[in-house]
């Protein structure tokens, strides 16, 4: 029970640093003098950090134990969230964002191995529970940042962002008992295992699928509220529409992960999610204001590709040690693949002064997501 509570509290924090930014991106840009292109870089910072830091997670876990590394990651996250909003300029804001996101990165990689290790017979349902917690955190930050900023903190977006550090602080005590447990490196985790994982086609399918769904997710996180606001929708309603995409991950993420854990192949699930992505982005391309709640619903459904790929990582690894390596490879390589996406969306928006060219790019990227999801979903193990 302690492990499950700790797992859920950690998961709540995995997107707070990211989803709290989008609804007040205009205010951040105004306060820091940030261009759309640099704002695109800000939306790319998470994937850069997750790719770079994520590769170090297996080595740290092998030396200190996953629970201890996750504990430190949460402390680092809390510090970054508390300090970042008060940065006087863009460069320091980006740097402190990296600090917060570095804490998230190691937790991202290691939680699937915690599931495999402590809940080996309930991988799908446990992954579903922690992705529900993740989406609750993401939804709350997306929906509440603007109201908190405007009504509780007198329009001060800096305090509106900093307040989410409290949530990270609350997660720390639950990991203290787990971090005190005796730790011995598992025998099957060897220094060359990452190389062997990288030679397996399933690992590459997972990495590409992770990269494509991350590109889609971070375009939604970074730009969806702005797309709606530019279409004439109010900032508060845009935040609620964005929150809907995260909220749908609560019931759908749990159900999808539980279903994926019960069937031998998850290929058709991945394909179905991709079709909803085409519909959602296609609707935004046509007219964001025509049916904003419908487009947000479709995008919320395609966003459940994230709990699906986490479940696939846990299912495809034969042992907890192998899951750590597979998680590090798939997430780090996947985030490297995803790095250009949010930045290109911002650059294309600057160049064309509209959203159709950026959304055309995202629509094209859904196709390789569908193909990679088909291969990642086949019943194979690493």
Each residue's pLDDT tens digit, 36-83: 667 766 766 777 777 778 778 878 888 888 889 999 999 999 999 999
Check pLDDT > 90 for residue 375.
yes
CA distance 351 to 122: 48
Helices (H), the chain: 2-12, 16-19, 25-32, 36-54, 57-64, 66-83, 90-118, 123-147, 157-162, 165-179, 193-198, 201-230, 235-247, 249-262, 267-286, 292-302, 305-316, 320-338, 340-352, 356-376
125, 129, 130, 131: CA torsion to nearest 10 = 90
Q: In Å, what is the CA distance from 95 to each residue of 49, 83, 88, 175, 234?
A: 10, 11, 12, 27, 30
Encoding tokens for residue 157? 């977006």
85 φ, ψ (degrees, to nearest 5) = -65, -20
In sign, the C-alpha dihedral spanning 43, 44, 47, 50 is negative
Segment 223-247 shows an average pLDDT of: 86
323 φ, ψ (degrees, to nearest 5) = -65, -40
Check pLDDT > 70 for residue 191.
no
Supply the Cα-derived Rg of the chain in whole angstroms.
19
Binned at pLDDT 50, 70 and 90, residue 264 comes out as confident
Digit-coded pLDDT (tens) for 54-67? 778 878 888 888 88
């Amino acid at each position: 029970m302690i492990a499950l509570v700790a797992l859920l509290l950690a998961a709540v924090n995995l997107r707070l640093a990211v989803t709290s930014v989008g609804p007040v991106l205009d205010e951040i840009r105004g306060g820091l003098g940030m261009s759309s292109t640099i704002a695109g870089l800000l939306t790319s910072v998470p994937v850069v950090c997750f790719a770079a830091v994520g590769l170090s997670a297996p080595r740290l876990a092998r030396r200190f134990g996953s629970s201890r590394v996750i504990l430190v990651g949460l402390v680092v996250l809390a510090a970054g969230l508390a300090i970042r909003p008060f940065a006087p300029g863009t460069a320091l804001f980006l740097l402190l964002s990296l600090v917060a996101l570095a804490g998230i990165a190691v937790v991202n990689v290691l939680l699937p191995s915690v599931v495999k290790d402590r809940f080996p017979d309930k991988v799908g349902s446990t992954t579903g529970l922690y992705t529900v917690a993740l989406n609750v955190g993401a939804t709350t930050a997306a929906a509440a940042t603007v109201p908190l900023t405007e009504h509780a903190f007198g329009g001060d977006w800096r305090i509106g962002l900093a307040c989410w550090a409290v949530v990270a602080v609350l997660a720390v005590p639950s990991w203290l008992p787990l971090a005190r447990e005796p730790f011995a490196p598992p025998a099957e985790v060897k220094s060359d295992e990452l190389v062997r994982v990288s030679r397996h086609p399933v690992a590459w399918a997972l990495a590409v699928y992770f990269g494509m769904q991350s590109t889609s997710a971070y375009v939604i996180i970074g730009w969806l509220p702005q797309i709606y606001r530019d279409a004439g929708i109010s900032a508060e309603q845009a935040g609620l529409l964005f929150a809907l995409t995260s909220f749908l991950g609560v019931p759908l993420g749990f159900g999808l992960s539980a279903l994926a854990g019960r069937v031998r192949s998850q290929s058709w699930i991945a394909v179905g999610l991709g079709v909803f992505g085409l519909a959602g982005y296609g609707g935004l391309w046509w007219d964001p204001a025509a049916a904003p709640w419908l487009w947000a619903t479709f995008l919320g459904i395609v966003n459940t590709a994230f709990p699906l790929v986490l479940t696939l990582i846990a299912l495809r690894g034969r042992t907890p040690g192998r899951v750590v390596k597979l998680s590090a490879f798939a997430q780090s390589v996947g985030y490297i693949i995803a790095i250009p996406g949010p930045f290109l969306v911002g650059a294309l928006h600057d160049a064309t002064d509209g959203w159709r060219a950026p959304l055309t790019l995202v629509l094209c990227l859904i196709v390789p997501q569908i193909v990679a999801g088909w291969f990642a979903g086949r019943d194979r193990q690493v």
